[in-house]
Structure 1
């Protein structure tokens, strides 16, 4: 009788104890679930051949988790494109379990960590992957892409998930983007994507990116000169956006009280104050 009673009690006891004691494999899986996913290198990068010889790492890296980078930064597009080349110039290999620290913060050395660094995202530098970058960004149209935006692909398939920073268009049709990206075959690089490959990606924009103010439409430099062969001093104007225009002198202030009326004629571009110091 006692044996029967013990057997009957053993079943409910096992039911009570069983759920409380997880096997080692299940416990490890539960712990792994708390770690932020990462983006492994793609199996292949279309149009990009693998590096023939391994590149010697010229910088020190540390194991994840990466350090906390404070709050999200508000950056201009120019600042984003100043931060990004700091990885391109070094050519950091893509490693999911490593972090790289420079003057712009400490971020995981994969594609999402690279974009997070360029954008100045706060929090842990290993907290970002293609599955959560949209928490700090929003989708835009392809025609709206500007320098410092990004191209994102997140299908849930680790052989397809990837993100790259948009730099500019490489062709007048605006179909082939120049990007900076962290790759598994050639480290951190800048290159041109084909129209077909770019079409697989969704254009996105960082929430805190700031557009630089539009250039002042007024001429920043003006000079007198005789340009038309009529022995009168005409006027050349250099605009902040690099446009150079000329106005023909009438030689008569009585004409609408203007010596050089009209909107002028564009005679050149690229004459920015950074590369032209004087106009004579």
Structure 2
């Protein structure tokens, strides 16, 4: 099955139905399930179904309206019964992730139907992602032993801070909803630290930057310069390098302020302890 082909066919059918003043054409999960459950493996199943429906309309139409609705309900329930497995929901619940989203999606489907319920569930997921991205956690990194690895100081024994450097890593991408929070967090950590010379900010979670994030980084650079500190960026991906290089080539976009790894930034601006 090719989902794109299926959608193209449905779109073409709806265009034809609109031109001929017909009914909207849709696809039902129960009909697809019943078709697959009956052993359909090719497109001939659709043609045979078309023939059967045509014969039913031609010869059995007067009797169709006499069919009780409970009988139709039983047919749909039977077709979908095997899909009513609570195991996926229980697996998500045991992972202790997205519990509220699961509850909201189930209630939305029960209250508004499958289509509108799924749209509401998608909207809730987008809102939750926006909430999580707008409240980023910024970790301080330290060198792990005598290696080139830099890990979270609080979570790994043996990691030590590099003297004179403050190495920070936001755990979410920088964009308009999170950049100001990250910049404020960096300034708060630097304030009162007379032993610091350079702030190393790792952007490994950011594949690109919007205009607000760029402005926040440039403003952060100016504020740190006013405090007598330097700002360098590490784990900077190509789109960000090109953007900063074009926007601020003599400042934060300069080649000597953008590094591929934390170890390179530390080696250029501090003391990298290697075994």
Verify same fold: TM over 0.5: no
Q: Which has the higher helix share?
A: 2
TM-score (normalizing by structure 2) = 0.24
TM-score of the superposed pair, with normalisation by structure 1: 0.24
Higher relative contact order (CA 8 A, sep 6+): 1
